[in-house]
Chain A
Amino acid sequence: MPPPMSKKLLQQLSARPYKHGFSSKIETDTVPIGLTEDTIRLISGKKSEPAWMLAWRLKAFRHWRTMVTPDWQNVAVPPIDYQAIRYYAAPKRRALKSLDEVDPEIRRMFDKLGISLDEQKRISGVEGMSQVAIDAVVDSASVATTFKAELERLGVIFCSLSEAVQRHPGLVQRYLGSVVSFGDNYFASLNAAVFSDGSFCYIPRGVRCPMDLSTYFRINSAGTGQFERTLIIAEDDAYVSYLEGCTAPKRDENQLHAAVVEIIAKDRAEVRYATVQNWYPGDAQGRGGIFNFVTKRGKCAGANSKISWTQVETGSAITWKYPSVILQGDNSVGEFYSVALTAGHQQADTGSKMIHLGKNTRSTIIAKGIAAGHGNNTYRGLVRVMSGATGARNYTQCDSLMLGSQCSATTLPYIEQRNDSSTIEHEASTSTIRDEQLVYLRQRGIDEEEALTLIVNGFGRTVLKRLPLEFAVEARNLLGLRLEGSVA
């Protein structure tokens, strides 16, 4: 008797193609391998940073040296030799004045990734595609930012963080580290010490940013860690939708990516942040892949403000990430929508924290975990209602979809309630793909891989439908790609 279809299919769910695995030959400016105060001075010097910036970095570094690697997470992290990593690698030719100066090889790299750095192409792009301004970051440095001029006319600042340090030092100094402090956690401290670049985004009062802003992160150099830092500030009544995409070449080594994202939303401001994370996940045997240890946090500083995280996590060997919202302003709203797929030997410990401080604050957490192959998928979430958060409400829903018998899914919700007038709801489910579902779709002419893709995408639909069109298509394809090639 042949084994049931899904079993046969899922046994093979370990090897998946990774289509962004190429690397490009770009002339690169690097610092020596290893991490000392000199490394930090060197990085800071290369970027001609002001003294306060270097001082902050060094403070973070000294603090980091007193910390120990966290071990509470439900993932097995091999020991990381922080002295074996290169902390800075930047393409030599960078576009500083105009997009025409972008190294053609970098342009080709982004074309290959399906990201056009050509503003004209974007404008006259495919029907239905909204206009998107892009900050392209390769290894440690931003190489191009599109539509800067258009945005500047509205007072929107969108540039690399390095440029912001030079041109808008007041804003950076005021807000950098105000949500994720230099001592927040092990990886955030490391980032504060050595962060190289990232995106900076400032939306002035009353401005609704007319286009989506996007950062595309690309790791290219071998042996290099990526430590970018993103800072988004939305003043009163401002609105911005922000997208982040990430890919890396296939390599046998593990590469460290320790990023920080900080968001500040003032009165009635709204920030939507969407990520499609597709770092290289490692090969079928679990060799190589990115260690993705990221701290993302937003602060609803103003009343009636809103911060919404949407993430599709399909890549990385290990993901450790809890996009969170501090709900300080009264009536502020925090949202977290996540689809996390772990296939092959991927491990993910991801979720969200919602910290309710203000009155009538509301938060929603929708987490969809998909575990396949030998994947290990953990949802970890914290809902904390402080004593002043009268009338606070949280709704959490965690659903796990498990494919095959080698994977695991864990749900770890933490709830701390210090105000009796608040309401916290938690729902969780675990399901699997049933043979009947596959047979049904296949009977209608849909092949096995596509059937699997449709079911998995259906599972993640409440999250995927929140992505902007362009991203939704990419995310859908990614989830499909991850399962493609799993059928012999």
Chain B
Amino acid sequence: MSQQPVRARTAGASKTSLSIKNLHVTREGKEILKGVSLEVQAGEIHVLLGPNGSGKSTLAHVLAGDPRYSVGDRGLDFNGKTLCGVPPERRAERGLFVGFQHPVEIPGLSTAQFLRSAQGALRKSRGQNPLTAREFLQNAKAALVAVGLPEAVLERPLNVGFSGGEKKRLELAQLILLEPTLAVLDEIDSGLDVDGLKLVAAALKRFMLPDKLTPASGQATSNRMLLLITHNPRLLRYLPITRVHIIQNGQIIQSAGPELAEQIAKTGFVNKKIQK
């Protein structure tokens, strides 16, 4: 596969990481994130849990580079380099992918054309040759099969008339096709039934798999990272979670191992507040 050398190259470079330190974010003058800190290392799956309005989705938008949010000039590093002031497309080129809670509809833009443009742009930025139309279609169809979407989706306008579940599956298909190192997925599990959840979990597990054996140690290492944003811990049962963070009112109020997610599943967020 033509993608292989690139993965190897990224993997061979210094270890991947996402470092958020004391991040403050405002939108239209209102402070939404009030000093958030979070570290994700290569091979790790982190979960950000929190009630509606806690600032979860804001973090996803900020990581994407949405210019409607004001971020300072520090506090956001990706693979050792700052993301502050870096436009969204450059972040994507560096291997950052954000799956949105509400993927936007673009009337008239076929899903196929969109995927081809995105994959083409990213391949170009990595110095790879463009894929032929046939190669692209093979890749795209494989990604759709993996998330349980029919091929016919390719001809439909992007996200237009898609059900909530279909939109989420298409986000996941993009993750597979675009091969980032860090995936930030906002409510990827909403609108999905149990079978859908299992499919998402399987795809995410595959995403986290190591690219290759590191010759020196003989051990499998993954450079992939996952940050799952959700208010519903159901999906987490199917995944090997590294760390769970609770966000409330723009601040992370608690961080712990996967057992925290189980606890939240039982007791909800209200009790968390009291605990603190």
Contacts and interface: CB of A to CB of B under 8 A. Distances in A.
A441 B107 contact: no
Contact of A445 (B26, B61, B103, B178): B178
A454 interface: yes
Contacts of B70: 1-2
Interface stretch (A20-28, A45-53, A279-287, A458-466): A458-466
Q: Which of A5, A446, A448 gathers most chain B CB within 10 Å?
A: A446
Interface stretch (B51-59, B83-91, B227-235): B83-91
B108 A461 contact: yes
A60 B90 CA distance: 61
Given A440-B103, A458-B108, A458-B109, A450 B65 contact: no
Contact of A454 (B100, B104, B109, B125): B109
A64 B137 CA distance: 59
Interface string A427-445: 0000000111101111111
Contacts of B64: 439, 443
A26 to B, nearest CB: 39
Given A447-B89, A447-B121, A448-B89, A441 B114 contact: yes
Given A442-B88, A442-B89, A447-B89, A5 B67 contact: yes
A401 to B, nearest CB: 10
Given A442-B65, A443-B91, A446-B121, A457 B108 contact: yes
Interface residues of A, number: 29
Interface string A413-431: 0000000000000000000
Contacts of A437: 104, 106
B109 A455 contact: yes
B87 to A, nearest CB: 7
A474 B147 CA distance: 36
B88 A443 contact: yes
Given A439-B88, A450-B117, A455 B106 contact: yes
Given A5-B67, A441-B106, A461-B109, 20 more contacts: A5-B68, A439-B88, A441-B117, A442-B65, A442-B88, A443-B97, A444-B114, A444-B118, A444-B121, A444-B174, A445-B118, A448-B87, A450-B117, A454-B106, A454-B114, A455-B106, A458-B106, A458-B109, A460-B108, A461-B110
12 contacts: A435-B66, A439-B65, A441-B118, A442-B87, A443-B91, A443-B97, A444-B121, A447-B121, A448-B87, A454-B113, A458-B157, A460-B108
> Across chains A and B, which 10 residue pairs bring their CB atoms closest together, nearest first?
A458-B108, A458-B109, A461-B108, A444-B118, A442-B88, A445-B92, A445-B122, A445-B121, A1-B70, A442-B89
